Structure 1
């Protein structure tokens, strides 16, 4: 049988592994930061009706500019964002891929601050963009001085700033983002996939967009909106950035069904986001109770908690899996990550983990 090594793939892809979050049939899945709360029935009914309506004309290509969807996304974002500043794709990963296709590529480099979202480096590799890294401050924070020093030293074409950061949950202050924008010669991408879980009133990088044509803020409907299976990611940026993405996107890349479903969900935004407070509560509960169990949880502004003090992460991961609970081993020594689920899911996770410690 032919193996991957036998195929004439690009040399820079040899020996690499694809994104590999475990997919296992378990009763309690707390490994990929999904919103584990079900979508309200009234929203299910509206989305179903919208998709059914779209099916009646599915023999035709969808709106290539997904105009209605962009209008609804701009309204949801607020901060003075206009439709012309919004772009969307099949998940924020595709948004990021299009950004690197447009602004990265061979001979260009993208800067990240690990530990951070693993897909940033994977997408960099897939687009032939050199991935370079710089260290964070203590407790995974990123100060303006540290970030600026890295940008000045490495001179990247693209900078990734993930806030709240995945997998650590650490927010990045607007002062750091402003400082990076002031010294970076290229594109600055602020990945705000978990922004809705920040404390109420916490400012978003969206507020920094005016006057910064090379700043991009990416978002997703996968997390707070509990819409992971629908695959809808989006960004806000200067309209010129949106024009650049039109050069690399595939024709009609967003299906009519995806557009219809996303618009219907956005029309119920307040209801869809009602679980955010409940998830924040379980996240904060995890921080307190993991510490009580003798672990070292890190403060988080997202819907998950990274906790250290794990003597044997793989053994702990396996023990939980044997009890039908799936969390995430991110490869950070002595650490594991757990999604904040429903109260019942959190309780069972903590109880099972507590029994392991006895």
Structure 2
């Protein structure tokens, strides 16, 4: 039989592993940072009606530019961050934030160009960077997973990247960046600066969004997703806000009709019910903060989190702890620095189950 090594794939792809978190059939899954609360019966009915409405015209292509959806997204972002002044012309949408990242790299990266990020951070940034033929520069975060503005500026000035990726709140650490660090990087970056705010809705009330910086920075891109706080991971809808010229650049690389009519209808319906969908955010924040306190009371190190997950450690053998928790029906994530583990915030019942499983695992590890 033919193996992958027998195929004439690109040399730079040989030896790489595909991205993916374990998908296991266990009672409690807390490894992919999903919102654990499903749509209500009322919303399920509305979603079904929206799909039924477009079903009769699926023989036709969808709106290629998703204008109505982008207008709805702009309205949502303006409500989230008053003063952002967004319109449909300043918002773009795609199949998940990963396609957004891919399009950015296709437009502003490529062979002979470089992208810089501060790791540990979202692993898809370097993966998509490599796949696009762009060189990746790992500038590393601080020891506490923060980002000192002076050190960050020095890295940007030294490497002069075409794209800078910043993640706030950061995945997998949950750490939010101070606005002064982002502004300092914007002042010296020679190319585009992308702030990935996939977990932006979970940020603490005193944590600002980079959307507020958009009016003064035409090379800033702020990305978001409906997969996390919106509890719409199955919809696959990511989006960004930027200067209209950035949207024009992305139109050069987007695939024709990349967002299906069904995706657009479901996303618009979710936005119309955003109050209900985001009604669980405060609950998840509360559960997060309780869990951070409990983990620290167990003598563990915990990164400060503005997201819907918590990074905790440190373990000489994290695989042993991960397996011991899994053996009790709870799936968490081996990700980030080698001695750390990450757990998503679930329902109060799921979190209680995790605490019990981890308590047992820690005893077994002694």
Q: What TM-score do you get using the length of structure 2 for normalisation?
A: 0.96
Say if 2:29 is the partner of 1:24: no
Q: 2:303 aligns with which of 298, 302, 322?
A: 298
Q: Which moved more, 1:273-282 or 1:327-336?
A: 327-336
> Of 214, 217, 224, which aligns to 2:219?
214
**Deviates further, 284-293 or 345-354:** 284-293
Contact 1:295–1:310, Cα closer than 8 Å, also in 2: no
Q: 2:38 & 2:227 partners in 1: Cα distance?
A: 13
Match in the other structure for 2:81: none
1:119 is displaced (CA, Å) by 0.3
Q: Is 1:113–1:134's contact at 8 Å kept on the other side of the alignment?
A: yes
Quick check: 2:70–2:92 contact (8 Å CA) kept in 1?
yes
Aligned to 1:123: 128
Alpha-carbon distance between aligned partners in 2 of 1:89 and 1:331, rounded to the nearest angstrom? 27
Q: In the comparison of the two structures, how many residue pairs are matched?
A: 358
**3-state SS in 2 of match to 1:111:** strand
C-alpha contact (below 8 Å) 2:176/2:207 kept by paired residues: no
Which of residues 312, 325, 329 is equivalent to 2:330? 325
**SS of equivalent residue, structure 1 residue 354:** helix
For residues 121-200 of structure 1, the aligned pairs below 5 Å read 121-200=126-205
Could you tell me which residue of structure 1 aligns to residue 76 of structure 2? 76
- Structure 1 partner of 2:97: 92
Whole-Å separation in 2 of the counterparts to 1:11 and 1:292: 49
Supply the distance in 2 between the matched residues of 1:38 and 1:343 (Cα, whole angstroms): 15
User: What is the distance in 2 between the residues matched to 1:356 and 1:181?
Assistant: 44
Partner of 1:230: 235
Give the match for residue 15 of structure 1: 15
Find out whether 1:344 has 2:349 as its counterpart.
yes
Q: Secondary structure at the match of 1:164?
A: coil
Deviation beyond 2 Å, 4+ runs, structure 1? none
Offset of residue 294 of structure 1: 2.3
The aligned counterpart of 1:242 is 247
Runs of 5+ unmatched residues, structure 2: 79-83
CA distance, structure 2, for counterparts of residue 4 and residue 330 of structure 1: 26
Structure 2 vs 1, CA of residues 244 and 336 (structure 1 numbering), >3 Å: closer, same or farther? Answer: same
Please give the alpha-carbon distance, in whole angstroms, between the structure 2 residues aligned to 1:17 and 1:88: 28
188-197 or 136-145, larger mean C-alpha shift: 136-145
Distance 2:90 2:47 in 1: 25
Q: Is the CA contact 2:172–2:336 (under 8 Å) kept in the aligned structure 1?
A: no
Return 5+ residue gaps in structure 1 as ranges: none
Aligned-residue offset at 1:201: 5.0
Determine the C-alpha separation between the residues in 2 that align with 1:9 and 1:21: 24
1:269 partnered with 2:271? no
SS at match of 1:273: helix
1:313-353, Cα deviation, whole Å (9 max, x unpaired): 10111111111111000152211000011000000000111
Aligned-residue Cα RMSD (Å) equals: 1.0
Residue 321 of structure 2 contacts residue 362 of structure 2 at CA under 8 Å; is this kept in 1? Answer: no
- What's the CA shift for 1:310? 2.1
Which deviations, in whole Å up to 9, do the C-alpha atoms of 1:44-74 show, x marking residues without a partner? 1111110110111111000001111001000
Q: Secondary structure at the match of 1:22?
A: coil
Matches within 5 A, 1:246-257: 246-257=251-262
Cα distance in 1 between the residues matched to 2:13 and 2:256: 26
Give the corresponding residue for 1:2: 2
Aligned to 2:288: 283
Kept after mapping to 2: 8 A contact 1:114/1:136? yes
Q: Partners of 2:140 and 2:154 in 1: how far apart? A: 10
> Given the two structures, how large is their TM-score scaled by the length of structure 1?
0.98
Which secondary structure does the structure 1 equivalent of 2:291 belong to? helix
CA distance in structure 1 between the partners assigned to 2:26 and 2:235 by the alignment: 21
